């Protein structure tokens, strides 16, 4: 089962002129043979409460209309208390089964600052997803080690491996070795970096994701295929890990 | 039909990051991706400019063309520019910011050695690829952008190809001799179409950075970008053929 662990939907898609609607995503999923996909709103929605509400409502509606194909992720900010209220509503309604933070929005993801979010994740048994960016020390894998160690029972998934343009991935490997509950999604990364992370950390720590619509689902999947993984590892990276971490089998 | 040209690949062994690509591996990947011509460079290594270029020269042919490393601050660099052209038949030079910390790019002011090398590149009209990716930055830094801006102003007839999109794309607006290639981008068709609309297809080159990325993956992104077929053909080869004055047949 192919599960894409990183997609965006909603009315505000930078660099795209229109909405990204659920039907469009489902069509691209079908072409690529993808069964399920995580959907989330764009981080820029965090700047304005009405945008955050509207975006999450759009995600919730899409998940509600396609519960067998889509599962949601609620965007939160540790300094925006209302975002946590919205996220809990989405978790209660089954519209989301993960949380997402973007530390590049000017905060350090320290254990203390992240306490409320991590406690929600612990209470609901959902992973916390983090935008990864090796060039931003707040979004670096090494910035998450203390957080992961403070909450060892909460799974954390760092998006974009990272990073989008980083060549050696040393920080990814070092952080992954130091924090067993830290996982990585592959979206936007070079295939060679994905392969290296799988070798160093193990296939059970890596989730395939596309970051569509900006990145192409079939191209991002081809980055996994060119690695010539064993069938077992390919299945883990492209679906098995998402099933486990997002508890998709239990929730459906 | 225009040739498909991969404007940035590497051959050899990269001790800094653990990459390697043999000639046979590159040819196999070019075949899998439908690449006619690849512009190859050795992996940048400090203080090894002459040896890396000599090794690369022995690997050219069968659609693999050369772009030799130049460390502009090295005393032998001007002579190496001549050797790239006259002895090796290479089509471009590569300045790698990462391995040799070309700080004049940050300051926008070169010392006499760097100036002598850049003067020779301009005299010989050898296009320059700038690996402008600072080791700790994914984008061309603002400081380095000022340095490229200074080079582009001082050498207006010298094609300068930068491998990072931001803010290199903005530099194309004011400098007709600045070009951008895609090696550091990670295969987003949306981004590629956006750059094409901003810089124009004649200023933007397909480049895979193989073996960091498989050329067929990067080429897929160009094939799926929402651009005209004319623009696609230019980005996939036509533009770099013109700028580097490459052979037009296989």
CA distance A59 to B65: 49
Cβ contact, residue pair B138, A166, below 8 Å: yes
CA distance A29 to A2: 9
Chain B interface, best mutation among A190, A213, A214, A215, by max B CB count within 10 A: A190
DSSP state of A127: P
DSSP three-state, residue A23: helix
- The answer to whether the beta carbons of residues A8 and A28 sit under 8 Å apart is no
Cβ contact, residue pair B17, A167, below 8 Å: yes
CA distance B229 to A7: 28
- The answer to whether the beta carbons of residues A243 and A1 sit under 8 Å apart is yes
Chain A interface, best mutation among B187, B209, B226, by max A CB count within 10 A: B187
DSSP state of A157: E
The residue ranges of chain B whose pLDDT is under 70 are 98-99, 101, 103-104, 106-109, 133-143, 165-167, 250
- The answer to whether the beta carbons of residues B81 and B93 sit under 8 Å apart is yes
CA distance A210 to A132: 14
3-state helix, strand, coil in chain A (%, to 5): 45, 15, 40
Min Cα separation B184/chain A (Å): 6
Q: Is the pLDDT of residue A136 over 80?
A: no
- The answer to whether the beta carbons of residues A217 and A12 sit under 8 Å apart is no
Question: Could you tell me the two tokens for A49?
Answer: 């409460």
Cβ contact, residue pair B17, A191, below 8 Å: no
Query: Nearest-CA residue of chain B relative to A223?
Result: B217
Which pTM does this prediction carry?
A: 0.89
pLDDT of residue B147: 83
Cβ contact, residue pair B220, A191, below 8 Å: no
Cβ contact, residue pair A219, B217, below 8 Å: yes
Cβ contact, residue pair B220, A222, below 8 Å: yes
Name the β-bridge partners of A99: A74, A128
pLDDT of residue A252: 44
Residue in B17, B137, B214 nearest the CB of A191: B214
Cβ contact, residue pair B213, A216, below 8 Å: no
pLDDT of residue A172: 86
Mean pLDDT of the residues in chain A? 91
Chain B interface, best mutation among A8, A14, A215, A219, by max B CB count within 10 A: A219
Min Cα separation B87/chain A (Å): 32
DSSP state of A48: -
Min Cα separation B106/chain A (Å): 18
Query: Nearest-CA residue of chain B relative to A211?
Result: B188
- The answer to whether the beta carbons of residues A72 and A63 sit under 8 Å apart is yes
Cβ contact, residue pair A222, B217, below 8 Å: yes
Cβ contact, residue pair B187, A216, below 8 Å: yes
CA distance A131 to A105: 10
Residue keyed to tokens 């190809």 = B161
Q: Is the pLDDT of residue A165 over 60?
A: no
CA distance B204 to B5: 12
pLDDT of residue B139: 52
Name the β-bridge partners of A71: A38
Question: Could you tell me the two tokens for B85?
Answer: 């052209």
Mean pLDDT of the residues in chain B? 90
Chain B residues 170-189 within an 8 A CB cutoff of chain A: 184, 186-189
Q: Which of A6-10, A78-82, A136-140, A150-154 has the lowest mean pLDDT?
A: A136-140
Residues ≥6 apart with Cβ < 8 Å to A151: A111, A118, A121, A122, A181
Question: Could you tell me the two tokens for B108?
Answer: 């926008």
Chain A interface, best mutation among B217, B219, B223, by max A CB count within 10 A: B217
Q: Where are the beta strands (DSSP E) in B126-208?
A: 128-131, 160-162, 178-181, 204-205
Walk across the sheet containing B204-205 and list its strands.
B20-21, B5-13, B37-42, B64-69, B92-96, B128-131, B160-162, B178-181, B204-205
Q: Is the pLDDT of residue A166 over 90?
A: no
Residue keyed to tokens 């530390």 = A103
CA-to-CA separations, A14 to A11, A185, A213, B52, B55, in angstroms, rounded: 10, 21, 10, 42, 45
Question: Could you tell me the two tokens for B223?
Answer: 């094939």
For residue B29, which residues of chain A lie inside 8 Å, CB to CB?
none
Question: Could you tell me the two tokens for A136?
Answer: 């931003």
Name the β-bridge partners of A156: A128, A182
Cβ contact, residue pair B221, A216, below 8 Å: yes
pLDDT of residue B142: 64
Counts for chain A of helices (H) and strands (E), in that order: 11, 9
DSSP three-state, residue A53: helix
Q: Which helix (H) or strand (E) holds A65?
A: helix A49-65
Cβ contact, residue pair B217, A191, below 8 Å: yes
Cβ contact, residue pair A192, B212, below 8 Å: yes
CA distance B198 to A176: 39
For residue B18, which residues of chain A lie inside 8 Å, CB to CB?
168, 196
For residue A192, which residues of chain B lie inside 8 Å, CB to CB?
19, 211-213
pLDDT of residue A250: 57
- The answer to whether the beta carbons of residues A139 and A103 sit under 8 Å apart is yes
DSSP state of B166: T
Cβ contact, residue pair A215, B17, below 8 Å: no
Question: Among positive and negative, which fits the CA dihedral A15, A16, A18, A19?
Answer: negative
Q: Which of A1-15, A142-156, A163-177 has the lowest mean pLDDT?
A: A163-177
Residues ≥6 apart with Cβ < 8 Å to B32: B214, B215, B216
The percent of residues above 70 in pLDDT, for chain A, comes to 94
Min Cα separation A225/chain B (Å): 10
Chain A interface, best mutation among B188, B215, B219, by max A CB count within 10 A: B188
Residue in A15, A192, A215 nearest the CB of B187: A215
Q: Is the pLDDT of residue A233 over 90?
A: yes
Summarised one tens digit per residue, pLDDT across range B78-108 is 999 999 999 999 999 999 876 676 766 766 6
Cβ contact, residue pair B220, A216, below 8 Å: yes
Instruction: Please calculate the CA angle A208-A213-A214 and round it to the nearest 5 degrees.
Output: 90
């Amino acid at each position: 089962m192919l599960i894409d662990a990183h997609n965006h939907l909603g009315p505000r898609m930078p660099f795209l002129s229109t909405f990204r609607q659920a039907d469009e995503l489902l069509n691209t999923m079908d072409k690529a043979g993808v069964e399920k996909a995580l959907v989330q709103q764009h981080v820029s929605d965090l700047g304005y409460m009405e945008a955050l509400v509207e975006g999450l409502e759009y995600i919730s509606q899409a998940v509600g209309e396609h519960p067998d194909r889509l599962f949601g992720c609620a965007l939160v900010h540790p300094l925006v208390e209302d975002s946590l209220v919205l996220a809990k509503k989405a978790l209660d309604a089954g519209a989301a089964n993960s949380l997402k933070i973007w530390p590049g929005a000017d905060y350090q993801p320290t254990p203390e600052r992240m306490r409320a979010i991590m406690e929600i994740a612990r209470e609901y048994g959902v992973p916390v997803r983090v935008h990864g960016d090796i060039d931003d020390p707040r979004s670096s894998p090494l910035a998450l080690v203390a957080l992961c160690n403070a909450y060892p029972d909460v799974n954390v998934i760092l998006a974009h491996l990272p990073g989008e343009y980083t060549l050696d991935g040393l920080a990814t490997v070092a952080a992954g070795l130091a924090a067993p509950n830290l996982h990585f999604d592959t979206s936007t990364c070079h295939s060679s970096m994905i392969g290296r992370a799988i070798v160093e950390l193990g296939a059970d720590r890596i989730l395939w994701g596309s970051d569509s619509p900006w990145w192409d689902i079939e191209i991002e999947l081809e980055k996994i295929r060119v690695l010539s993984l064993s069938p077992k590892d390919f299945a883990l990276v492209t679906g098995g890990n998402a099933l486990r971490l997002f508890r998709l089998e239990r929730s459906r | 039909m225009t040739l498909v040209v991969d404007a940035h690949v590497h051959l050899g062994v990269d001790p800094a990051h653990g990459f390697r690509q043999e000639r046979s591996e590159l040819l196999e990947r070019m075949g899998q991706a439908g690449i006619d011509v690849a512009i190859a460079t050795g992996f940048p290594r400090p203080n090894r400019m002459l040896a890396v270029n000599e090794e690369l020269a022995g690997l050219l042919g069968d659609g693999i063309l050369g772009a030799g490393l130049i460390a502009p601050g090295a005393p032998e660099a001007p002579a190496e520019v001549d050797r790239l052209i006259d002895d090796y038949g290479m089509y471009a030079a590569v300045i790698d910011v990462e391995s040799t910390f070309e700080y004049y790019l940050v300051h926008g002011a070169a010392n006499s050695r760097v100036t002598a090398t850049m003067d020779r590149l301009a005299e010989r009209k050898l296009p320059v690829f700038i690996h402008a990716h600072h080791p700790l930055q994914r984008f061309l830094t603002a400081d380095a952008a000022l340095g490229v801006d200074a080079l582009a102003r001082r050498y207006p007839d010298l094609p300068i190809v930068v491998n990072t999109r931001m803010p290199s794309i903005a530099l194309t607006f004011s400098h007709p001799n600045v070009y951008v290639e895609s090696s550091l981008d990670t295969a987003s068709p949306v981004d590629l179409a956006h750059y094409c609309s901003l810089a124009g297809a004649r200023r933007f080159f397909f480049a895979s950075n193989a073996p960091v990325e498989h050329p067929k993956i990067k080429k897929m992104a160009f094939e799926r970008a929402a651009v005209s077929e004319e623009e696609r053909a230019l980005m996939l080869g036509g533009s770099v053929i013109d700028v580097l004055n490459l052979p037009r047949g296989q």
